[in-house]
């Protein structure tokens, strides 16, 4: 959410991106050679990390920042597609268009509140 709210604040975006990438590298390392965090099937860690597969993508869409790229995080990128594409996981994941719409509305609300406080 920090990156969405850092509208026009390039330094704030840069700080957020550095910290996020360090954390994503930790997860990237745990996926080397595996389809899911626990192996070949979805497990508890995959469910706990499901925000990366759907919510992060929605944040990327509204902020215009690509964080989970195939070039920097190939294992996580592959995992996110596999997780979001899994038939059982799809039943539990929210619709992407609805997420983007809701996050956009929340972002606008927070930006308006910040503008009033200036």
State the pLDDT at residue 32.
87
State the pLDDT at residue 64.
80
What is the four-CA torsion angle of 56, 17, 36, 54, rounded to 10 degrees? 0
Average pLDDT over residues 76-104: 92
Give the distance from CA 68 to its chain's centroid: 7
Closest CA to 42 of 84, 83, 4, 71: 83
State the pTM of this model: 0.78
* pLDDT tens-digit readout, 69-86: 999 999 999 999 999 999
Cα–Cα distance for residue pair 58/64, rounded to 1 Å: 10
* pLDDT tens-digit readout, 14-56: 777 888 889 999 999 999 899 999 999 999 999 999 988 888 8
- Which CATH number fits the domain 2-117, given the four candidates 1.20.1050.10, 3.30.70.20, 3.40.50.300, 3.30.499.10? 1.20.1050.10
pLDDT class of 117 with cuts at 50, 70, 90: confident
State the pLDDT at residue 8.
56
């Amino acid at each position: 959410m920090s990156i969405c709210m850092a509208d026009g604040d390039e330094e704030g975006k840069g700080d957020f991106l550095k910290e996020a990438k360090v954390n994503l590298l930790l997860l990237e390392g745990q996926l080397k050679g595996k389809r899911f965090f626990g192996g070949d099937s979805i497990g508890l860690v995959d469910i706990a990390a499901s925000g990366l597969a759907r919510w992060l993508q929605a944040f990327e869409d509204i902020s215009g920042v690509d964080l989970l790229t195939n070039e920097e995080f190939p294992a996580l990128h592959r995992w996110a597609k596999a997780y979001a594409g899994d038939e059982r996981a799809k039943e539990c994941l929210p619709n992407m268009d609805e997420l983007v719409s809701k996050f956009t509305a929340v972002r606008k609300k927070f930006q308006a509140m910040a503008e009033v406080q200036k």
